[in-house]
Amino acid sequence: MIIRSKAPLRLGLAGGGTDVTPYSDLYGGATLNATISMYAYATIIPSDKGKIVIRSIDKGEYLETKSIDNLPIDGRLDLLKGIYNRVVRDYTKTSLSFELATFVDAPPGSGLGTSSTLVVAVLGAFAEWLKIPLGEYDLARLAYEIERIDLQMAGGKQDQYAATFGGVNFMEFYKDDKVIVNPLRIRSVYLNEISHNLVLYNTRTSRVSSAIIERQSKHILDNKAKYIEATHKLKEQAIRMKEVILKGEIDQIGEVLDFGWQHKKLIAAGITNPTIDQIYETAIASGATGGKISGAGGGGFMFFYCPNNTRYRVIDALRKFGGTSHRYEFTTEGMRAWTI
C-alpha cells in the first residue's frame, strides 16, 4: 500500500501580514490569496519493520530511527517530526512504522508558503492512511497548531488554509485564531487574464521569514502607531483587491499591488533591501504597474502585474539580476490524498 498527497503553494496577493498574531487578535486581519500549480508532495509507505524512515528529497535530508511515539526535536527534519508527534499524541496513541518521503516544488524561504503547505500535505497523507476524519478547517487548524504552537515557528495563518482549501480565497482572521475562508467565484476570463499578466520571478535568494515576522509582531505589541497604521493599510488592500477582481476591474490590480507594497515595506525592517528595490523599480520601468515580494519579505519570489504584453519586456529586463521567471497556472483544488 502506498499513500500519496499533494497540496498547492500560494501567491499572497493582498493583506499579507494582517494574519499574524497579535495584529489579527487585536484588529482583525484579511488576506486574499490564490493557489498555483506548484506543490508540496508526500508519500507514506506503511511498514512492519519497527522503523521510521523520513526522506526530504528536495533538501537531501534523511533520518532513520526505531519506531517511538515521540521523535526528538533537535534541528533535523523537525517539521516532519512535529507532524508525526502530533498524530501519535492526538490520534494513534502508539508509535507507527513507515517510510515518509517529501518533495516541494519551491525551496524553503521562497515566500510561497512552502513549510505550511508541506505540513498540510503530510498531515493529509497521515489522515488518508489512518482514516482520521479531518474536515478542511480541522486540517488547516491542526497544521497551524503544529507549526506555530508545537514547534514555536513564527508566522501567520493564511498559508495552511490556502493549501487546504485551494483556489482564490478572501480570508478573515479574528482573535482566538478564528478564521473564515470565503472562496471567490471569479469568471474564468478574468482569472486567465490575471494569470497571463502576473509575472512570477524567483530572485534566487532565500530568507528566514521568522525574524521579519517577530519584528513585525513586536511593533504591534509595543503599540507603535506608524507600524499599526501601515498594517491597517494592508487589510484595506485585501478588501480593495477582492473588489477589483470580482468586478473584473483587472487593470487596477497593479495599482492595488503597488499600494500594498509601499505600506508593507514600512511594517518591519528586512522586508526589502537595495537589490529588491532595484528589481522592483526595473519591473515598473519596463511596463509593470505594480508588484510585491511574496510572503514575509527579504528574498524569495516576487511577482509583478504586467498588462497587455508588457510581461515579455519585464521578464527580459529582469534577466540581469540573475533570477528566473516561472510559468504557472491558478488552481482550484486544495490538498488531495489518495491510496494505491
Residues marked active site are found at: 159
Q: Which residues contact 320 (CB under 8 A, 6 or more apart)?
A: none
Q: Torsion over CA of 247, 292, 259 and 171, rounded to 10 degrees? A: 50
Grid coordinates of 250: 483587472
β-pairing, 98-104 vs 51-56, is parallel
Please tell me the distance from the alpha carbon of residue 241 to that of residue 252, in angstroms, as a whole number. 9
Grid coordinates of 307: 498588462
Please tell me the distance from the alpha carbon of residue 73 to that of residue 62, in angstroms, as a whole number. 15
CA 80 to chain centroid: 17
- Evaluate whether 280 touches 302 at the Cβ level (below 8 Å): yes
Q: Which of 185, 182, 155, 184 is nearest to 171 (CA)?
A: 182
| HSE (side-chain half, CA atoms, 13 Å) at 189 | 3
Q: What is the largest CA-CA distance in the chain?
A: 60
DSSP H or E run through 311:
helix 310-318
User: What residues are paired with 202 via a beta bridge?
Assistant: 301, 324
